[in-house]
Chain A
């Protein structure tokens, strides 16, 4: 069974600085998808970024980027120029490939990020 590990229960970063959140996963599949979700105190689950395993290029979304290392099964999230609004719980998620229908995501335990003014 696939598993997702986030080894940092809590992280903090100074406003305007850069922080990297770690995620590792275990799978025997060669094709799959990876996601980062953000959950602020409002408890909404917000998609931050996604990565397809067959793409070597790391995904980027504005201040958010990933470092995808397929051989190491690592999928870290880098937040540049951190803002107070980035403070949230961040979840890494794995999804097996899907030809037609939605697939069961495997979520990591989350990393709580604090942003210090």
Chain B
């Protein structure tokens, strides 16, 4: 089975540019999570969706960040405008409903804002 697919794997862009990160969850999974990982702050949950509906976006750092899930097989995380402090590894994870379901992570996107 295909795992969680994230693209791009690496992104380098200049400050002020718009950045869009993409995620395809595992087929049949109902929940999708976006995380940010930095050395200073560790792994932080940004937002998560259940059945394509945002449930908790309290981790989204500021209005420059937005996330959408237009359908069960696709989600985006957008940063506009980007700043150097947004540089991090961004992970997408998905899980199925019910029981002690683990979250399955994608390989992450390493984002560098110059």
Instruction: Answer whether A100 and B97 are a contact pair too, CB < 8 Å, given A35-B102, A47-B102, A110-B42.
Output: yes
Q: Which of B48, B93, B95, B98 contacts A45 (CB 8 A)?
A: B93
Residues from 1 to 54 in B contacting A, C-beta threshold 8 Å: 29-33, 42-43, 45, 48, 50-51
Please report the total number of A residues contacting B with Cβ < 8 Å: 23
Contact-size category for B: 20 to 34
User: B31 to A50, Cβ gap below 8 A?
Assistant: no
Q: Which of A43, A98, A110 contacts B89 (CB 8 A)?
A: A43
**Chain B residues with CB under 8 A of A91:** 43
Q: Does B99 contact A (CB under 8 A)?
A: yes
Q: Does B101 contact A (CB under 8 A)?
A: yes
CB distance from B106 to the nearest CB of A (A): 9
Can you list 28 pairs linking A and B with CB atoms under 8 Å apart?
A42-B107, A43-B89, A43-B108, A44-B107, A45-B91, A45-B105, A52-B100, A95-B100, A98-B97, A98-B98, A98-B99, A98-B101, A101-B30, A101-B50, A101-B51, A101-B97, A102-B31, A102-B33, A102-B95, A103-B31, A104-B33, A104-B48, A104-B56, A105-B45, A107-B42, A107-B43, A109-B42, A110-B43
